């Protein structure tokens, strides 16, 4: 076999990476050896999602899958090394490390650089651009020296500018957006859509200056003074230029390759330059003279060149410049001939100023064919409309964008309609994968790569699954065909209050470890009865049954409630005394509480007698229930605090204590935007602003960490509590078993927007009901452990052996020789074997 030929890829952005993957996929017999030059210190990452780097500050979360090519000997990735010159005659690339690399094929994937308008003062040290992870790190460093909520100016109100404004907002700044055109996102939306967009964005606390440019930037104290062309003067802590990009074509220029009129490496439809050994892909490529600044056409160029290197004849298929984005939590979509420039094109517009939505369809002169459209405020129709581009309309255009109109079924789409435009996957390919056995969205993603880039087609994938008759089973377990949410409704409507009655009427068999605790949780969420009353005792998981957390050797741990993480010296001493008296191992938890480990069941009542005497109550660490409300110290002590976060956290924890839910619920309250309580990693996070409180929902840590999303901003205290009441009760009623709030928000029909409509706008008319349910919970709360101590029958269950209630379990043993107490398991060295443990 011949030695592989060298191909050098200059640039490791999303498209460069896509090219390497596409080539390696096709090049199964190893005819090419790839060298990739990656100028940035981080290999290919998801630049489209750059703003999501804010908060996590973890570069790994944005990494493109497989971007290090581990185990592929035919790919060499050189990180932090860029190309400095191309010698076309010798076919050699010189790198910044001084290496000279020979090539048979050279692929330019250098992307773009941010355009900075020639404004006086543009080079001041508080002026930034927004393109790379390093740019965001620099912006972050500047934000940290500014006051929370300080003004940040974004020059550019297009797609990238609004992304940058979003990043500043996530960093706790108050953004001003300056756009030269008379409207925001001038390329994607028209005047009407731009007006609705500006209204929505202003409503979020941003300031929009359209029809204005930046005429001068001056230093003022630690910050900047920015003069606009309309005479306004804005003082700001920093400024970000995000006014478009220009292709990075300097290498091509130096080696004499032809450039397009407005920049970019000129290529033919096969992405080849005049030099048959050199190709250009992504944003630097001017395919037949035109550059594209979107990832979908970039990916298409990568595929074309990969195919050509394998001897194929693929051609650039033309770009779909359709865009659907969530900017600052707002939906914006633009597709096809959005500005109605086709001859004779007609427009159908629905502009609902009261709801803040704008929808426009562009149709052919005979109103039969869909040519394009714009959706602002609500882009749910995008999934079905975009694939219909250039096709006959299946219905009256008004009905397609009217909320009252019939929703278009996926059946209306032809097989060759593109469902995932990022990766060019058609409906037919997706349906074929379903026919081949893909039975859920992850399986479709694995089989077709649809939905793996921007994710906007995922709802469409679900509908295709449903349309193909793939039942996404919602059955709780083999005993109940219903989902948890359905059982919740059944309990509410029928008033059934026991598991045995529920399974007799609506299920089969005797139950299991899935449905029993799930039903117990529903019964607990809908009443204030003690969870161990009557039949309830037999339904509970062992944690709830002994009101403590089972540990690996069969002992339990005890967590008293410390509302808001606040504790007096007397109470600290009391906990210390309990731990000492019972020989318990102690550890501080992540939720600002103290966990006492190693208690045997018969010790639990004695432990709680002491704790209750010292003023403690159950912390529900053992339950799928509201756990803790973590807080920072807040304005009482902290120099930066703007609100009293501890007082609010204590009140919230006392309000929601004991509330049982589909999964655990954690909360947090931070007293300023510095966010020391890490509230955005909680199911419910509250962050103080100068004007009130911002409410974030749906965050969690764990295997798949999620940041909570903003539900509503600048709330007064009463509204805040009312919204949390509604949110939690809506979650409890509609979530699946063991579904955290983050997943619930993602999977509920309509997503967070729907939840916001229900919670903030009472769209379903159930807000009063939800609040009343929470009020019943608050009024009916009593401490579960006090309830056990007052009830002889419940107390009698806290024994290791029913026939020897005074005997501790002899198999429970600890090793206390090391730095900390360690439980010993049976059959391990250092313990004994009982008659049966050898099995």
Partner 1 sequence: MTVLAERHTDFGVGSWTPACALDRLLPGRGVAVLLPDGAQVALFLLPDEKLVAVGNIDPFGRAAVMSRGIVGDRRGEPTVASPLLKQVFSLIDGRCLDNECYALPVYEVRVVDGFVEIRAS
| Rounded Cα–Cα distance for residues 538 and 520 (Å) | 9
Interface ranges with partner 1 (CB under 8 A):
478-479, 500, 509-513, 515-517, 535, 537-539, 541-542, 545-546, 550, 552-554, 796, 800-807, 809-812, 825-828, 834-837, 839
SS3 307: helix
Q: Which is nearer to partner 1, 494 or 834 (CB)?
A: 834
Q: Find the shortest distance in angstroms from Cβ 610 to partner 1.
A: 23
Q: Which is nearer to partner 1, 535 or 609 (CB)?
A: 535
Q: Find the shortest distance in angstroms from Cβ 715 to partner 1.
A: 41
Residue 633's CB: how many other CB atoms inside 10 A? 16
- The structure tokens listed for 490 are 């059944």
Q: Which is nearer to partner 1, 419 or 539 (CB)?
A: 539
Beta-strand runs (E) in 364-449: 370-376, 418-420, 425-426
8 A C-beta contact, residue 375 and residue 332: yes
8 A C-beta contact, residue 532 and residue 545: yes
Residue in 168, 154, 172 with CA at minimum distance from that of residue 226: 154
Residue 255's CB: how many other CB atoms inside 10 A? 16
Q: Find the shortest distance in angstroms from Cβ 500 to partner 1.
A: 7
Concatenated DSSP letters for 693-752? EEEEE--B-SSS-BPPEEEEEEE-HHHHHHHHHHHHHHHHHHPPTT--HHHHHHHSTTHH
Q: Which is nearer to partner 1, 535 or 581 (CB)?
A: 535
> What is the spatial order of strands in the sheet that 214-220 belongs to?
214-220, 223-228, 233-236
Q: Find the shortest distance in angstroms from Cβ 529 to partner 1.
A: 16
8 A C-beta contact, residue 551 and residue 584: no
Q: What share of the chain is helix, strand, coil (3-state, %, to 5)?
A: 35, 25, 45
SS3 168: helix
Residues 414, 419, 422, CA angle at the centre, nearest 5°? 145
Q: Find the shortest distance in angstroms from Cβ 514 to partner 1.
A: 8
8 A C-beta contact, residue 232 and residue 253: no
Q: Which is nearer to partner 1, 479 or 777 (CB)?
A: 479
Q: Find the shortest distance in angstroms from Cβ 599 to partner 1.
A: 14
CB contact set of 797 (below 8 Å; sequence gap of 6+): 537, 545
Q: Which residue has the tokens 């003022």?
A: 220
Q: Which is nearer to partner 1, 639 or 839 (CB)?
A: 839
Residue 244's CB: how many other CB atoms inside 10 A? 17
Q: Which is nearer to partner 1, 69 or 622 (CB)?
A: 622
CB contact set of 569 (below 8 Å; sequence gap of 6+): none
Concatenated DSSP letters for 639-675? SS--S-HHHHHHHHHHHHTT-B-SS-EEEEEESSTT-
State residue 107 phi and psi, 5-degree precision: -115, 115
Distances (CA, A) of 393 to 367, 378, 386: 8, 21, 12
Q: Which is nearer to partner 1, 115 or 506 (CB)?
A: 506
Task: Find residue 586's DSSP bridge partners.
Answer: 596
Q: Find the shortest distance in angstroms from Cβ 478 to partner 1.
A: 7
Q: Which helix (H) or strand (E) holds 362?
A: strand 357-363
Q: Find the shortest distance in angstroms from Cβ 744 to partner 1.
A: 23
SS3 70: coil
Q: Which is nearer to partner 1, 51 or 543 (CB)?
A: 543
Length of the chain: 839
- The structure tokens listed for 601 are 């069941």
Q: Which is nearer to partner 1, 79 or 537 (CB)?
A: 537
Q: Which is nearer to partner 1, 780 or 830 (CB)?
A: 830
Q: Which is nearer to partner 1, 478 or 716 (CB)?
A: 478
Residue 402's CB: how many other CB atoms inside 10 A? 15
Q: Which is nearer to partner 1, 432 or 512 (CB)?
A: 512
Q: Find the shortest distance in angstroms from Cβ 627 to partner 1.
A: 20
Q: Which is nearer to partner 1, 546 or 730 (CB)?
A: 546
| Rounded Cα–Cα distance for residues 421 and 423 (Å) | 5
Q: Find the shortest distance in angstroms from Cβ 677 to partner 1.
A: 33
Q: Find the shortest distance in angstroms from Cβ 509 to partner 1.
A: 5
Q: Which is nearer to partner 1, 147 or 809 (CB)?
A: 809
Q: Find the shortest distance in angstroms from Cβ 664 to partner 1.
A: 17
Q: Find the shortest distance in angstroms from Cβ 516 to partner 1.
A: 6
Q: Find the shortest distance in angstroms from Cβ 839 to partner 1.
A: 6
Concatenated DSSP letters for 199-216? HHHHHTT-EEEES--EEE
Q: Find the shortest distance in angstroms from Cβ 522 to partner 1.
A: 16
């Amino acid at each position: 076999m011949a030695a592989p030929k060298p191909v050098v890829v200059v640039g490791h952005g999303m498209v460069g990476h896509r090219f390497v993957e596409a080539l390696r996929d096709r090049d199964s017999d190893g005819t090419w050896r790839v060298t990739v030059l990656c100028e940035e210190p981080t290999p290919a990452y998801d630049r489209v999602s750059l703003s999501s780097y804010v908060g996590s500050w973890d570069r790994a979360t944005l990494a493109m899958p497989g971007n290090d090519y581990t185990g592929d000997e035919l790919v060499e990735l050189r990180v932090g090394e860029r190309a400095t010159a191309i010698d076309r005659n010798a076919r050699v690339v010189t790198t910044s490390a001084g290496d000279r690399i020979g090539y048979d094929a050279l692929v330019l994937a250098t992307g773009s650089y941010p355009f900075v308008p020639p404004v006086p003062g543009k080079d001041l040290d508080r002026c930034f651009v927004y393109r790379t992870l390093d740019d965001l790190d620099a912006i972050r460093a500047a934000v940290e020296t500014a006051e929370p909520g300080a003004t940040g100016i974004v020059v550019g109100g297009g797609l990238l500018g609004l992304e940058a404004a979003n990043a500043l907002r996530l960093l706790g700044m108050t953004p001003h957006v300056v756009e030269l055109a008379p409207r925001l996102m001038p390329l994607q939306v028209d005047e009407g859509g731009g007006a609705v967009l500006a209204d929505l964005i202003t409503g979020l606390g941003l300031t929009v200056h359209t029809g204005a440019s930046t005429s001068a930037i001056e230093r003022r104290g630690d910050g900047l003074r920015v003069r606009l062309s309309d005479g306004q003067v804005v003082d700001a802590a920093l400024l970000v230029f995000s006014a478009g990009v220009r292709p990075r074509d300097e290498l091509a220029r130096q080696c004499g390759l032809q450039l397009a009129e407005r920049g970019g490496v000129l290529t033919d439809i096969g992405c080849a330059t005049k030099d048959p050994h050199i190709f250009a892909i992504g944003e630097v490529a001017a395919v037949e003279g035109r550059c594209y600044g979107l990832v979908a056409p970039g990916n298409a160029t990568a595929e074309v060149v990969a195919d050509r290197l394998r001897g194929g004849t693929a051609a650039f298929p033309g770009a779909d410049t359709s865009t659907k984005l969530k900017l600052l939590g707002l939906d914006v979509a633009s597709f096809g001939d959005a500005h109605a420039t086709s001859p004779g094109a007609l427009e159908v517009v629905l502009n609902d100023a009261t709801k803040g939505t704008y929808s426009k369809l562009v149709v052919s002169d005979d109103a039969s064919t869909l040519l394009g459209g714009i959706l602002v405020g609500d882009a749910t129709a995008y999934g079905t409309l975009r694939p219909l581009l250039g096709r006959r309309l299946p219905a009256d255009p008004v009905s397609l964008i009217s909320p009252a109109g019939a929703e278009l079924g996926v059946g209306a789409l032809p097989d060759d309609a593109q469902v995932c435009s990022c990766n060019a996957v058609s409906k037919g390919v997706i349906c074929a994968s379903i026919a081949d056995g893909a039975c859920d969205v992850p399986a479709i993603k694995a089989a077709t790569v649809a939905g793996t880039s921007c994710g906007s087609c995922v709802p469409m994938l679900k509908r295709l699954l449903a349309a193909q008759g793939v039942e996404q089973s919602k059955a709780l377990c083999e005993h109940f065909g219903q989902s948890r949410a359905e059982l919740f409704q059944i309990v509410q409507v029928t008033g059934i209050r026991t598991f045995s009655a529920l399974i007799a009427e609506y299920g089969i068999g005797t139950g299991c470890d899935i449905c029993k605790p799930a039903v117990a949780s529903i019964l607990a969420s809908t009443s204030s009865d003690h969870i161990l009353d009557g039949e309830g005792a037999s339904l509970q998981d062992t944690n709830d049954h002994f009101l403590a957390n089972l540990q690996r050797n069969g002992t339990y741990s005890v967590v008293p409630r410390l509302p808001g993480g606040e504790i007096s010296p007397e109470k600290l001493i009391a906990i210390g005394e309990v731990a000492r008296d019972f020989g318990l191992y102690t550890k501080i938890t992540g939720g600002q509480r103290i966990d006492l480990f190693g208690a045997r069941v018969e010790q639990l009542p004695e432990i709680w007698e002491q704790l209750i005497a010292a003023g403690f109550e159950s912390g529900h660490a053992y339950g799928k229930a509201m756990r803790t409300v973590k807080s920072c110290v807040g304005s009482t002590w902290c120099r930066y605090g703007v609100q009293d976060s501890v007082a609010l956290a204590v009140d919230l924890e006392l309000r929601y204590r004991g509330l049982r839910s589909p999964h655990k619920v954690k909360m947090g309250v931070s007293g300023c935007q510095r966010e020391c309580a890490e509230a955005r990693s909680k199911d419910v996070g509250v962050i103080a602003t100068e004007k009130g409180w911002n409410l974030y929902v749906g965050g969690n840590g764990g295997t798949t960490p999620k940041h909570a999303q903003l539900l509503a901003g600048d709330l007064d205290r009463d509204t805040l509590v009312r919204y949390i009441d509604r949110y939690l009760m809506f979650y409890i009623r509609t979530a699946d078993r063991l579904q955290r709030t983050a997943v619930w928000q993602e999977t509920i029909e309509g997503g967070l927007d729907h939840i916001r409509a229900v919670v903030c706008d009472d769209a379903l008319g159930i807000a009063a009901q939800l609040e009343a349910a929470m009020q019943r919970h608050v009024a009916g709360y009593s401490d579960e452990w006090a309830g056990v101590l007052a009830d002889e029958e419940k107390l009698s269950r806290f024994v290791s052996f029913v026939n020897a209630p005074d005997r501790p379990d002899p198999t429970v043993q600890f090793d206390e020789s090391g730095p900390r107490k360690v439980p010993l398991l049976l059959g391990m060295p250092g313990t004994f074997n009982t008659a049966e443990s050898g099995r």
